Each structure stands twice: as C-alpha cells, then as structure tokens.
C-alpha cells in the first residue's frame, strides 16, 4: 500500500495526496498497536484548583495532570456503569512508592503499570486501602451539575504520594 501511494505521487497525485495517504496509514498502525488503550490526557494546570467539566466525563477514563508546587499529580475522572462520576488520584495505594504505580485504561479496566492489578470503573472511588487507585471522596471535592472542583489545598496534601512518580 505504501508503494502504491509513492507510485501515485509520481503519477500525478502530487506530494500532498501521497503524504496524506502515508499519514493515514501511520495513524491506522498506531491505532492498531494501542487498540484497547483509551488514555485521554487533558491539558495540565499549575498551582490552582482542578475544575473538571461534568459534560466531558465519559466511560473512558480521562487523566487530568496538575502541577502543585513543582510536583506533578494526576487525577482520574470516569463515568461508572451506574452513571455516577468517579474520581481518584492516578496512583496505586500500594505501589505509589515504586514510581510506576499509575494506571492506564485498557478496554473497560484500569491497569496498574507496576503490579498489573486490574480494576473495573465501578471500583474507582469506592475502595480505600489495598492496591486500588487512591480515591477522592465526596468530602474532598465540590460537585454540581456542571463541574467537579478539587481544591488546590487538597491536591497539595497528596503531593507525597506522587514524589516518586514516573509517568512519562
């Protein structure tokens, strides 16, 4: 198929069309390599409250990077199968000290990149302790019909669990 694109470029399609075909093929290959991984990373914010639009939260986990006083943290927001919105820090309650205790979504599961444990979206924010994403309970956030707000002060209290974090 790549040869065909190059041949068409020589036969009058021109470079823009051939380049478009090549980019399309590269994108399809990248998609195939990452099939099942639905990791949506939002733009980072620094030293402020994290405000998540309720309208943006779906069954695909979204990862919200936050820089608090020079430490990078990340919050997961996802809609559970029961329709509730769940939030947690993107670090494992057991594996955080390894630096690799963070999650990536594979299909309908979150997978710890250190220990390999898998968690359903329905478990996010429901379990405390053990090898689970660190929950952000209702008492630690403000939720209304439009947004979820997690205060800068609460985020700052979580800096320690991200001190060895190695998510690229």
What are the beta bridge partners of residue 51? 149
Residues 53 and 136 in one domain: yes
Q: Would residue 167 count as lying in a domain?
A: no
Answer whether 158's CB lies under 8 Å from 89's CB: yes
Per-residue model confidence as pLDDT tens digits over 3-25? 444 454 455 555 554 444 434 44
What confidence category does residue 36 fall into, taking pLDDT thresholds of 50, 70 and 90?
Answer: low
**Dist CA 27 CA 34 (whole Å):** 11
Q: What is the mean pLDDT of the chain?
A: 82
Q: Quick one: 144 and 124 in the same domain?
A: yes
Indicate whether 81 belongs to any domain: yes
More confident residue, 22 or 136: 136
Q: Are 10 and 84 within one domain? A: no
Residues 18 and 49 in one domain: no
Into how many domains does the chain fold? 2
Task: Tell me which DSSP letter residue 43 carries.
Answer: P
Concatenate the DSSP letters of all residues of 52-100 into one string.
EEGGG--SS-EEEEEEETTEEEEEEEEE-TTS-EEEEEEEETTTGGGS-
Q: Is 168 part of a structural domain of the chain?
A: no
Domain identity same for 88 and 143:
yes
Question: Do 92 and 23 lie in a common domain?
Answer: no
Residues 70, 12 within the same domain:
no
Average pLDDT, integer, range 107-123: 91
In angstroms, the CA 90 to CA 74 distance is 5
**61-104 residue pLDDT tens:** 999 999 999 999 999 999 999 999 999 999 988 888 898 899 99
Instruction: Verify that 69 and 147 share a domain, yes or no.
Output: yes
Give which of 47, 51, 43, 39 is closest to 87, Cα–Cα.
Answer: 51
Q: Are residues 72 and 154 in the same domain?
A: yes
Taking residue 60's Cβ as centre, other Cβ atoms within 10 Å add up to: 13
Residues 26 and 50 in one domain: no
Distance CA 161, CA 168 (A): 16
Residue with tokens 């053990």: 130
Distance between CA atoms of residues 126 and 154, nearest Å = 19
| 91 within a domain of the structure (yes/no) | yes
Q: Give the contacts of 138 (CB within 8 A, at least 6 positions apart).
A: none
Residue 19 and residue 60 in one domain: no
pTM here is: 0.75
Residue 109 lies in a domain: yes
Residue 103 pLDDT: 93
**CATH code of the domain in which 77 resides:** 2.102.10
- d(C-alpha 54, C-alpha 47), whole Å: 21
My answer on whether 75 and 119 are in the same domain is yes
Q: Is residue 62 domain-resident? A: yes
Residue 24's domain spans which residues?
1-35
């Amino acid at each position: 198929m790549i040869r065909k694109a190059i041949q068409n470029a020589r036969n009058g399609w021109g470079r823009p069309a051939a380049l478009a075909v090549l980019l399309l093929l590269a994108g399809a290959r990248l998609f195939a390599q990452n099939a099942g991984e639905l990791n949506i990373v939002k733009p980072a914010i620094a030293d402020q409250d994290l405000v998540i639009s309720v309208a943006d939260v779906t069954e695909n986990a979204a990862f919200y990077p936050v820089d608090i006083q020079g430490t990078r943290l990340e919050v997961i927001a996802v809609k559970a199968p029961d329709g509730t919105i769940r939030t947690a820090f993107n670090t494992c309650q057991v594996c955080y000290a390894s630096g690799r205790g963070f999650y990536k979504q594979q299909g309908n599961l979150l997978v710890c990149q250190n220990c390999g444990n898998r968690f359903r979206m329905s478990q996010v924010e429901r379990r405390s302790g053990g090898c689970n994403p660190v929950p952000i309970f209702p008492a630690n956030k403000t939720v209304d019909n439009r947004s979820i707000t997690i205060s800068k002060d609460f985020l700052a209290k979580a800096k320690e669990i991200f001190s060895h974090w190695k998510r690229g």
